[in-house]
């Protein structure tokens, strides 16, 4: 296979677009990184690309976690929406977990996907409870981190407490006498007040809150007693079983639920990187927050230990590190002096007491009461407002410029084939990918290639190209591949080959290679699953990313015909395989109005292949099929209807993505929506119609589901089979009818 490089065609009308020369990768969405991201967004650096890697779209603010458990705050009030923050800041967001770091190759391995490279990396992933020092703890205990898992299990626990048989207390054990364990116990007690539950706090030391002053400890102990929490001091756990603790003094207390809040531990991959760590495995850093071994690796928050100024693992230190980290990352990139960070010796600790009361501790000072809680509440809300109330306008030009660009030629970028990706970057990327996908990434790359199949079966060919809609190149590659393959599946065809069409943003050679590898690895992830060979393509550079594929296929089986888009018969039922709403959700995301969790759900839906749905449609004898893409459900349904057919849709049955209806209700629509809505003149309303749900018919989809026509007596069986194959929201949404003579309406909605 050869990938075409094309001729140079200068275009004087192309605007000067800065090249990307360096990759800064931020691992983890902790407090320090969230602050640093905001600072970089306000003062961007020309030539720098920033990527944030986090396993979830939302990161918790630790100061408000007890209030979340106690019911004082909502999930949204206590979590930073990283997807929204990155969209605002112009930062790539990768939903992934890092599993290893190789400082020699400057590479990060990610769980379940290809590794990524960096020029500069910063790590702010926090700590995790130490579960491996006590046998059985990892198996039976609920750790306080990650918070997302804690929150899910806490919600389920509340339901179990309510269902628990009357007269018998549900026993909750909390292990850990530090601030985290104390606050968690009191937050749960406050939330479960009046319910059949009792809470035991197990502390291995002679007193809770070691390091706090006596008045603060006394106030907290009094609050624990008031809430009926049994505090056990000098109670060291030696083993955990599925329903009881084995203590060092031989006591064997039972529990129904166990929460683990003991000393902090580091992610194992930090020590495995070969970089210096402290005795507990936390990254050792200088006062500049750089690794002792590698100036290109930074560490902040709980995951790092500042060797000259070791401090307890507390969120207040992470917040104070934010400005220094942002300054030093910028300074190293620009060749300027770095700053030292001097953490304060004492810090103000505000401990929530379950109800809307709190205790303050700083050195010899201590105070308790509702006014302390209100003070804490104001501090916490002020911090979170930095990420909720994002400035509406961003700088029109870069604040700084990478020195690598100083000697770069400032010629206007060429258009046409002169914008091609260099041969070295392309061949190097393909060479490495061919090792991982030897059966599906072949040759040296022509614009076109013979389809690798024999026989006289009809061949189906389709082409789809997408502009960038997600910043994660691996996910973008997967979405684009799925989107293209769906045309084949809608025909009842099996994919056999594909050609790529790629436009990459202007960048240096190493950056282009990194981007190509991520995009094509994502596409090959999907093509390999479909046993489809990527046989060639065309790549170039331009102002923005676009990615598409020509795909070729043959019938699913030699004795089966292709499915037609037309062919619906009166009486046929209409089955939709996947939920709708990607258009409005991504329009909202561009305007910073979408919840990151809703965007994650939309991405998961787009990543779901239509292959199994097509197989089921053919196996159940479908009469017609199409995939729902840019024209929306109504537009593609109209393509299926012959002139003597009409359809009836039940709006209430349309499956929707989370948040889609909310965005449409708020007036958020894709730019394609208005054009699609012009087809609404063929609609006839039957009875009362929800006007907002009606708008879903016009919402353009990317990598949407299949719309299948099938005889009514087989529709339920098909729907049930789809749901068993992971199309959880597959639904029968309407039926086909003969069109009455002279009727101007094609679709009735009710």
In 3D space, the residue among 91, 22, 80 whose CA is nearest the CA of residue 52 turns out to be 91
Neighbours of 377 (CB within 10 A): 19
Q: Which helix (H) or strand (E) holds 139?
A: helix 137-140
Buried/exposed code over 187-214 (b: 16+ C-beta within 10 A; e: otherwise): bbbbbbeeeebbbbbbbbeeebbeebee
Alpha-carbon gap, residue 156 to 151, rounded angstroms: 9
How many angstroms separate the Cα of 467 from the Cα of each of 428, 543, 546? 24, 11, 4
Q: What is the arrangement of strands in the sheet containing 142-143, beginning at the earlier edge strand?
A: 142-143, 257-260, 170-175, 197-202, 230-232
Q: What is the arrangement of strands in the sheet containing 113-117, beginning at the earlier edge strand?
A: 98-102, 107-110, 113-117
463 φ, ψ (degrees, to nearest 5): -135, 130
- Cα 72 to its chain centre, rounded Å, is 26
Classify 347 as helix, strand or coil.
Answer: coil
Alpha-carbon gap, residue 105 to 119, rounded angstroms: 10
Contact status, residue 384 vs residue 84, Cβ threshold 8 Å: no
Contact status, residue 348 vs residue 315, Cβ threshold 8 Å: no
SS (H, E, C) 656-716: ECCCHHHHHHCCCCCCCHHHHHHHHHHEEECCCCCHHHHHHHHCCCCCCCEEEEEEHHHHH
Contact status, residue 147 vs residue 60, Cβ threshold 8 Å: yes
Classify 476 as helix, strand or coil.
Answer: helix
Q: What is the arrangement of strands in the sheet containing 120-123, beginning at the earlier edge strand?
A: 92-95, 48-54, 22-27, 120-123, 297-299
Alpha-carbon gap, residue 287 to 296, rounded angstroms: 14
DSSP letters for 542-605: ESS-EEEEEEEEEESSTT-PPPPS----TTEEEEE-S-B-HHHHHHHHHTT-S-HHHHHHHHHH
Buried/exposed code over 14-38 (b: 16+ C-beta within 10 A; e: otherwise): beeebbbbbbbbbbbbbbbbbbbbb
Pair of tokens at residue 245: 């603790």
Pair of tokens at residue 256: 């129904």
Q: Which helix (H) or strand (E) holds 219?
A: helix 214-226
User: Looking at 198, 414, 417, 453, which residue is catalytic?
Assistant: 417
Residue 417 annotated as catalytic = yes
393 CB burial (10 A radius; 0-12, 13-18, 19+): exposed
Alpha-carbon gap, residue 116 to 53, rounded angstroms: 10
Classify 190 as helix, strand or coil.
Answer: helix
Task: Report, as residue numbers or ranges, the catalytic residues.
Answer: 417
């Amino acid at each position: 296979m050869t990938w075409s490089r094309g001729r140079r065609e200068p275009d004087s009308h192309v605007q000067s677009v800065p090249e990307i020369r360096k990759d800064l990768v931020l691992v983890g969405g902790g407090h320090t990184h969230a602050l640093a991201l905001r600072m970089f967004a306000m003062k961007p650096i020309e030539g720098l690309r920033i990527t944030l890697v986090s396993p979830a779209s939302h990161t918790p603010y630790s100061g408000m976690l007890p209030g979340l458990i106690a019911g004082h705050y909502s999930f949204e009030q206590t979590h930073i929406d990283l997807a929204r923050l990155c969209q605002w800041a112009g930062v790539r967001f990768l939903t992934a977990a890092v599993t290893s770091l190789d400082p020699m190759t400057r590479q990060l391995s990610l769980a379940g996907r290809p590794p990524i490279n960096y020029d500069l990396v910063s790590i702010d992933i926090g700590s995790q409870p130490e579960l491996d020092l006590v046998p059985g703890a990892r198996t039976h205990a609920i750790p306080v981190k990650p918070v997302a898992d804690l929150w899910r299990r806490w919600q389920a626990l509340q339901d179990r407490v309510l269902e628990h048989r009357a007269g018998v207390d549900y026993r909750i054990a909390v292990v850990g006498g530090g601030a985290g364990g104390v606050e968690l116990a009191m937050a749960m007690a406050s939330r479960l007040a009046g319910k059949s539950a009792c809470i035991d706090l197990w502390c291995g030391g002679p007193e809770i809150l070691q390091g706090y002053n006596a008045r603060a400890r006394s106030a907290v102990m009094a609050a624990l007693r008031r809430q009926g929490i049994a505090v056990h001091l000098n109670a060291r756990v030696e083993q955990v079983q599925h329903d009881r603790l084995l203590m060092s003094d031989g006591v064997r207390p039972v529990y129904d639920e166990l929460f683990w809040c003991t000393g902090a531990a580091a992610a194992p991959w930090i020590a495995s990187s070969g970089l210096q760590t402290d005795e507990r495995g936390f990254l050792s850093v200088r006062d500049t927050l750089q690794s002792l071994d590698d100036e290109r690796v930074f560490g902040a928050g709980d995951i790092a230990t500042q060797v000259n100024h070791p401090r307890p693992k507390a969120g207040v230190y992470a917040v104070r590190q934010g400005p220094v980290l942002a300054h030093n990352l910028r300074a190293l990139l620009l060749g300027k002096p770095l700053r030292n960070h001097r953490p304060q010796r004492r810090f103000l600790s505000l401990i929530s007491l379950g109800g809307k009361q709190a205790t303050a501790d700083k050195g010899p000072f201590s105070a308790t009461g509702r006014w302390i809680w209100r003070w804490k509440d104001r501090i916490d809300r002020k911090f979170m407002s930095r990420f909720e109330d994002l400035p509406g306008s961003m700088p029109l030009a870069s604040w700084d410029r990478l020195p690598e660009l100083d000697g770069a030629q400032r010629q206007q970028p060429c258009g046409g084939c002169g914008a091609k990706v260099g041969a070295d970057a392309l061949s190097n990327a393909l060479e490495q990918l061919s090792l991982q996908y030897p059966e599906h990434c072949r040759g040296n790359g022509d614009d076109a290639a013979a389809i690798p199949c024999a026989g006289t079966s009809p061949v189906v060919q389709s082409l789809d190209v997408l502009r960038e809609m997600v910043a994660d190149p691996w996910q973008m590659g997967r979405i684009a591949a799925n989107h293209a393959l769906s045309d084949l599946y809608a025909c009842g065809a099996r994919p056999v080959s594909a050609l790529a069409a790629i436009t990459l943003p202007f960048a240096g050679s190493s950056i282009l290679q990194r981007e190509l590898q991520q995009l094509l690895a994502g596409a090959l992830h999907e093509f390999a699953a479909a046993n489809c060979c990527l046989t060639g393509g065309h790549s170039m550079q331009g102002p923005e990313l676009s990615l598409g594929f020509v795909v070729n296929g043959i019938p699913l089986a030699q004795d089966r015909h292709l499915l037609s888009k037309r062919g619906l018969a009166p009486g046929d039922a209409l089955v939709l395989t996947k939920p709708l709403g990607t258009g409005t959700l991504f329009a909202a995301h561009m305007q910073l109005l979408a919840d990151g969790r809703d965007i994650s759900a939309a991405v998961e839906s787009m990543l779901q292949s239509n292959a199994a749905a097509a197989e089921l449609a053919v196996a159940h004898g479908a009469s017609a099929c199409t995939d729902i893409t840019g024209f929306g459900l109504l537009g593609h349904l109209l393509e299926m209807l012959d002139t003597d057919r009409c359809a009836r849709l039940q709006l209430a049955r349309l499956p929707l993505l989370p948040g889609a209806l909310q965005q449409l209700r708020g007036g958020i629509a894709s730019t394609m929506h208005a054009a699609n809505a012009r087809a609404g003149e063929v609609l006839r309303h039957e009875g009362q119609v929800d006007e907002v749900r009606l708008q879903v018919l016009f919402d353009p989809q990317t990598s949407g589901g299949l719309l299948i026509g099938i005889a009514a007596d087989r529709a339920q069986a098909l729907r049930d089979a789809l749901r068993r194959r992971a199309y959880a929201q597959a639904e029968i949404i309407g039926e086909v009818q003969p069109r009455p003579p002279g009727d101007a309406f094609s679709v009735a909605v009710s």
